[in-house]
Amino acid sequence: MERRIHPPLVDKTACLCRVDAGLKTVAGAKRFVPGSKLCLQPDIKPSIHPTRQKPARDRTRNQSPLLPGLPDDLAIACLARVPRIEHRKLRLVCKRWYRLLAGNFFYSLRKNLQMAEEWVYIMKRDKNRKMTWHGFDPMNRLWQPLPPVPKEYTEALGFGCAVLSGCHLYIFGGKDPVKGSMRRVVYYSARTNKWHRAPDMLRRRHFFGSCVINNCLYVAGGENEGIQRSLRSVEVYDPNKNRWCFVSDMSTSMVPFIGVVYGGKWFLKGLGPHRQVVSEMYQPEVDVWTPVHDGMVSGWRNPSTCVDGKLYALECKDGCKVRVYDEETDSWSKYIDSKMHMGNSKGFEAAALVSLNGKLCIIRNNMSISLVNVGKDSAAEHLWETIAGKGQLKTLVSSLWSSLAGRNHLKNHIVHCQVLQA
């Protein structure tokens, strides 16, 4: 029996079909075409869609096909191959196309056809302490417009950011300048290009650690404004159950400043209750926290990430030198150097290291992006590739401005960076 995967909460206009669980072909796609079943499963509560629905026979009798001259299943197969950058235009063609692209089926089909595209999403704080965010299409090397960040996070500090189901970007917790620590959780869907609410966390916290393991969101430690400022508590959000629950506390309270998932385990490093550096490892299978002091943690640098089971970290500020962790020797030994270092300016400082299409992706504060091919068959001369930030013609100007910004110590820097697929 096929196991159903329930999506997180969405607004009342979003499609709620649950076909991500394993659709392999376009056969039978006609059942999910908007207008016939409105992309809805029959067990959806009627209160979500309160309008009275006409019988399917009446709705489908006079509706036009998705593409003239083609049955709808073939039309969907054609539309699924349209590049992601054109999807905003597709939604404007007609209501049926809009509903199709607003549903889970369309993007599940793209994923199963290996047509899904990964984009880089960057949250940046400007010199006025306002939060803005940007989406980057690496195929066309263009920055894309996005809906504004929810107002409660435009000036928030110390909030978390993570991706669930590959296409939902969650931001959670943090400290509001007026209201203080928050429990609020919102998420952006790359499929609908909209923000939605999710259940609040169980504890108010900011400057905490977070990670995703088995598509569940874990949050640990941090601070709140109560009597106990530094926290030990850990909670997890399961999107299938759409709720938070507590798991085992950490061995000691911690305000993490670096974290990574490696080998199915969550490693955290931060400041303990007496402002000393502490490190712990969490094993979700047994729900146990263990203090660690091995070579991986002692030589750890931020930012860091895992690609194909290997752990990478940046060695220098501009991100032009990458270190690799060797588990056999328990040391950081191998270097991947671009031989083209940019300097120590704040503008050139590497803010994030993520995985993009199987490559290491380095994002700097001046919005420049470099890709490092760490595949086994990659030639040494083709390891590094630089992608111009906001247009190749502006690279020199943006680099100069970033250098000046670094000298003047302007607070213009990247806070979070994630990769979403659609």
* Cα angle, residue 145 at apex, residues 142 and 147 outer, rounded to 5°: 150
Kindly state whether residues 264 and 181 are assigned to the same domain: yes
On whether both 286 and 303 belong to a single domain, the answer is no
Domain shared by 232 and 338, yes or no: no
**Claim to verify: residue 135 and residue 65 sit in the same structural domain:** no
Give me the percent of the chain exceeding a pLDDT of 90: 63
Q: Do 163 and 42 fall within a single domain? A: no
CB of 171 closer than 8 Å to CB of 152: no
**Boundary of a domain, candidates 259, 293, 327:** 293
Beta bridge partners of 226: none
Q: Please report the pLDDT score of residue 261 as a whole number.
A: 97
Q: Do 272 and 159 sit in the same domain of this protein?
A: yes
N- to C-terminal Cα distance for the chain? 27
Paired strand residues for 311: 306
Task: Give the pLDDT confidence score for residue 41 in this predicted structure.
Answer: 29
What pLDDT is recorded for position 391? 35
Residue 3 lies in a domain: no
3-state class (DSSP) for residue 12? coil
Domain match, 203 and 253 both: yes
CATH code, domain carrying 312: 2.40.10.480
Residue 49 is assigned to a structural domain of this protein:
yes
Task: Check: CB of residue 314 under 8 Å from CB of residue 362.
Answer: yes
Query: How large is the average pLDDT for residues 15-36?
Result: 45
Predicted local distance difference test score (pLDDT) of residue 64: 85
Instruction: Give the range among 89-103, 137-151, 202-216, 327-341 with minimum mean pLDDT.
Output: 327-341
Preceding omega of 65 cis (within 30 degrees of 0): no
Question: Where would I find the beta strands (DSSP E) of 310-375?
Answer: 310-314, 321-326, 331-337, 350-356, 359-364, 369-372
Give the neighbor-by-neighbor strand order of the sheet with 369-372: 350-356, 359-364, 369-372, 384-387
Q: Are residues 155 and 287 in the same domain?
A: yes
411 is a domain residue: yes
In this prediction, residue 397 carries a pLDDT of: 41
Distance CA 56, CA 65 (A): 15
Last residue of a domain, one of 241, 265, 293: 293
Measured between alpha carbons, how far is 127 from 171 in angstroms, rounded to an integer? 21
pTM of the model: 0.82
If you average pLDDT over residues 283-312, what whole number do you get? 93
Which range of 2-16, 96-110, 405-419 scores highest in mean pLDDT? It is 96-110
Instruction: Looking at the structure, tell me whether residues 65 and 203 fall in a common domain.
Output: no
User: DSSP string of 19-34?
Assistant: -TTT--SSTTGGGGST
Residue range 362-378: average pLDDT?
Answer: 86
Whether 22 maps to a domain, the answer reads no
Torsion of CA 148, 149, 152, 154, to 10 degrees: -90
* pLDDT tens track for 39-71: 332 232 333 334 455 554 555 556 789 999 999
Dist CA 195 CA 420 (whole Å): 14
Residue 53's alpha-carbon distances to 36, 40, 59, 243, 344, in angstroms, are 11, 12, 9, 31, 62
Give the torsion sign (CA, 343, 126, 421, 96).
Answer: negative
Q: What is the mean pLDDT of residues 230-258?
A: 96
Cβ–Cβ under 8 Å, residues 121 and 135: yes
**332 φ, ψ to 5°?**
-95, 105
Total domains present in the chain:
3
Percent of the chain with pLDDT over 70: 77
Boundaries of domain holding 309: 119-141+299-422
User: With 80 as the cut, is the pLDDT of residue 10 above it?
Assistant: no
The length of the chain, given as a count of residues: 422
Q: What is the pLDDT of residue 36?
A: 39
Instruction: Encode pLDDT of 162-211 as tens digits.
Output: 999 999 999 999 999 999 999 999 999 999 899 999 999 999 999 999 99
Residue 403: exposure state from Cβ atoms within 10 A (0-12, 13-18, ≥19): middle
Same domain? For 107 and 193 the reply is no
The pLDDT value given to residue 202: 97
In a domain, 195, yes or no: yes
Residues 307 and 397 in one domain: yes
